[in-house]
């Protein structure tokens, strides 16, 4: 047992002795006398154990011992009561903040929230929902999920959970989620308000595993050209991807657009599995290397289902980590073309270190390198998280997002692809083969402010809620909807009026007119999402996405 632990035990024992000694003392206030005696004892023990540490040669001069003594001194001597657990957490965070931008500490609650999107499932009732003011509106029940099985429908409002009201009481979204979620097999009683039904309806739902999809759009974007959009790389991504490939091949797909825009990464193994589908046996996908960890290589097995056919990968400034591994492998191995803007540049390998209370340290142990030897990680200053987070603003300010001529690379950052010897660039992130400038005029200031106030989403939810049955009857298929539906002018007018109420107004008539085309497009896509799913949403939005349109052009002409 360490001297530090012995000291803490002695302090606790002496505290009990002092308490007993004071039982018969009446002249001094007990609490005051106890504090004096404990303080003196703690100081003496502190000095004794510190000296003992040196004498016993137990690393008395070590940084770890210094940290232990500091924590003990604060916990036992500080003038006010301290939360020892928080004190330790703050110390851990403080150490990690002085390292790279991606080493981090997470509490048990934060660990659960971080892992859930990547694990592929969670326990719950199985509904997609949104909030209209303070009421939970079911957008879609999960197909074959627990809510659909008992008869809950799109458009239903959940007003109470286990006889506790959740509507009209300004309950936070987090508190509502706590009541809806629970261990698999447990039951929850839901009070439902449904249009056309006068009284509250009650359903008992048995919670179950609810799948979390990481692929949110799969369709034939053009004849012979399939499109797959991956949101992140999780535990189920590879299986989802293979199902998507088979679906598209059955529809005549020969070439593929892989959309990794806004994909923030995830599991390395999922990225390696997907890259393997495109590359021949022995092709290097990625390698990692760090100070304490040697070079570790990941190579293709040559058994993929997309070894032939054209491939285009779409990236932008928010494409990161595992998504950059896939992009870099396909580019360096000359398997396909990259279209868009330089990716984020997150190429640090984190090892999760689980702590006894369920918290976790994610510690950077190595760098990711593409097959040609490019380090994916962009430059950073240790401990300067603020500058790192301002990278997007700096790119915009320097013109990198709007003009490829603003991007300058030193000769030392030039690399060659492995088959065709094309020039590619290091320095952080994946620089695309075909640059697509950011359209800074697409979103007007007026549109951004409407979006920030949730006015656009709330208006679309009200519209679909009022007209769901009529729309389903009028447009039985998405194809009919896509060709024939236009958002009513009344909805647009209501958005402008609501914006005015919340002091969100266009600068002038010109800004209002520039806002309208994209606003109408977005509203149509939101209605499609709520009538069908995210795939239909992207089918509408992609026809006006500059990076997607460039990807179609590139894959059609190569």
Which are the catalytic amino acids? Answer: 321, 332, 346
Supply 236's token pair: 């189920």
**Token reading at 311:** 């491939």
Residue 130 phi, psi dihedral angles, 5° rounding: -145, 165
Residue 529 in tokens? 């999402």
For residue 53, what are its two tokens? Answer: 């540490």
Task: Please choose, from the candidates 465, 456, 545, 529, the residue with its C-alpha nearest in 3D space to the C-alpha of residue 495.
Answer: 456
> For residues 146 and 160, is the Cβ–Cβ distance under 8 A?
no
Instruction: Output the six-digit token pair for 292.
Output: 């304490």
Q: Tokens in use for 465?
A: 């809620």
Nearest residue to 249 via CA among 272, 220, 290: 220
Provide the token pair at 475. Answer: 């447009």
Q: Pairing mode, if any, of strands 311-315 and 337-340?
A: parallel
Q: What does the DSSP 8-state code read for residue 419?
A: T
Rg of the chain over all Cα atoms, to the nearest angstrom: 29
Q: 224-243 burial, b if ≥16 CB within 10 A, otherwise e?
A: ebbbbbbbbbbbbbbebbee
Give the residue from 211, 383, 390, 401 showing the smallest Cα distance to 317: 401
Contacts of 471 (CB under 8 A, 6+ apart): 464, 481, 485, 527, 531
> What gap in Å lies between CA 388 and CA 373, rounded to an integer?
23
Q: In the 8-state DSSP scheme, what is residue 187?
A: E
**Cβ atoms within 10 A of the Cβ of 148, count?**
18
Task: State both tokens at 326.
Answer: 């896939």
Per-residue tokens: 385: 């998280």
**DSSP secondary structure of 51-119:** HHHHHTTS-TTSHHHHHHHHHHHHHHH-SS---HHHHHHHHHHHHHHTS-TT-EEE-HHHHHHHHHHHH
CB 485 within 8 A of CB 527: yes
- Angle at which helix 63-77 crosses helix 30-55, to 10 degrees, equals 170
Rounded-to-integer distance, Cα 153 and Cα 155, Å: 6
Contacts of 342 (CB under 8 A, 6+ apart): 315, 317, 395, 400, 407, 429, 430, 431, 432
Whose tokens are 């191995």? That residue is: 333
């Amino acid at each position: 047992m360490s001297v530090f632990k012995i000291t803490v035990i002695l302090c606790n024992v002496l505290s009990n002795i002092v308490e007993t000694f004071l039982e018969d003392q009446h002249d001094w206030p007990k609490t005051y006398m106890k504090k004096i005696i404990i303080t003196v004892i703690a100081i003496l023990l502190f000095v004794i154990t510190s000296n003992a540490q040196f004498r016993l040669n137990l690393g008395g001069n070590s940084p770890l011992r210094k940290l232990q003594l500091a924590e003990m001194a604060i916990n036992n001597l500080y003038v006010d009561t301290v939360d020892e657990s928080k004190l330790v957490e703050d110390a851990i965070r403080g150490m990690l903040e002085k390292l790279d931008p991606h080493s981090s500490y997470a509490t048990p609650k934060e660990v659960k929230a971080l892992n859930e999107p990547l694990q592929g499932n969670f326990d719950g009732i199985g509904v997609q929902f949104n909030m209209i003011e303070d009421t939970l509106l079911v957008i879609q029940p999960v197909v074959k999920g627990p809510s659909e099985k008992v008869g809950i429908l799109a458009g239903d409002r959940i007003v109470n959970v286990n006889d506790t009201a959740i509507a009209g009481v300004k309950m936070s979204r987090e508190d509502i989620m706590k009541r809806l979620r629970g261990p698999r097999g447990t039951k929850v009683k839901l009070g439902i308000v449904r249009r056309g039904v006068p009284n509250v309806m009650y359903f008992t739902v048995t919670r179950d595993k609810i799948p979390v999809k990481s692929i949110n759009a799969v369709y034939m974007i053009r004849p012979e050209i399939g499109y797959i959009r991956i949101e992140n790389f999780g535990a189920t991504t590879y299986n989802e991807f293979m199902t998507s490939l088979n679906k598209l091949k059955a529809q005549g797909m020969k070439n593929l657009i892989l959309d990794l825009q806004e994909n923030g990464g995830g599991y390395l193994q999922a990225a390696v599995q997907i890259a393997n589908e495109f590359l021949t046996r022995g092709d290097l996908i990625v390698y990692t290397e760090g100070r304490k960890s040697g070079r570790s290589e990941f190579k293709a097995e040559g058994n993929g289902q997309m070894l032939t056919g054209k491939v285009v990968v779409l990236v932008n400034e928010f494409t990161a980590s595992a998504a950059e591994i896939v992009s870099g492998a396909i580019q360096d191995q000359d398997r396909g073309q990259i279209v868009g803007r330089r990716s984020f540049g997150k190429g640090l390998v984190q090892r999760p270190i689980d702590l006894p209370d369920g918290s976790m340290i994610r510690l950077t142990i190595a760098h990711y390198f593409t097959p040609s030897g490019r380090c994916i990680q962009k430059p950073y200053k240790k401990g300067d998280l603020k500058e790192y987070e301002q990278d997007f603003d700096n790119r915009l300010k320097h013109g990198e997002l709007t003009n490829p001529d603003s991007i300058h690379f030193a000769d030392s950052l030039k690399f060659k692809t492995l088959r065709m010897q094309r020039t590619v660039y290091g320095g952080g992130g994946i620089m695309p083969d075909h640059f697509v400038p950011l359209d800074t005029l697409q979103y007007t200031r007026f549109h951004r402010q409407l979006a920030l106030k949730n006015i656009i989403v709330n208006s679309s939810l009200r519209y679909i809620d009022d007209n769901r049955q009529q729309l389903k009857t009028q447009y039985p298929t998405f194809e009919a909807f896509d060709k024939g539906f236009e958002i009513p002018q009344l909805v647009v007018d209501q958005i402008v009026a609501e914006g005015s109420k919340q002091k969100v107004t266009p600068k002038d008539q010109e800004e209002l007119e520039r806002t309208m085309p994209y606003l109408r497009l977005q509203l149509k896509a939101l209605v499609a999402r709520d009538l069908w799913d995210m795939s239909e949403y992207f089918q509408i939005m992609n026809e006006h996405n500059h990076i997607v349109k460039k990807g179609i052009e590139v894959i059609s002409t190569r």
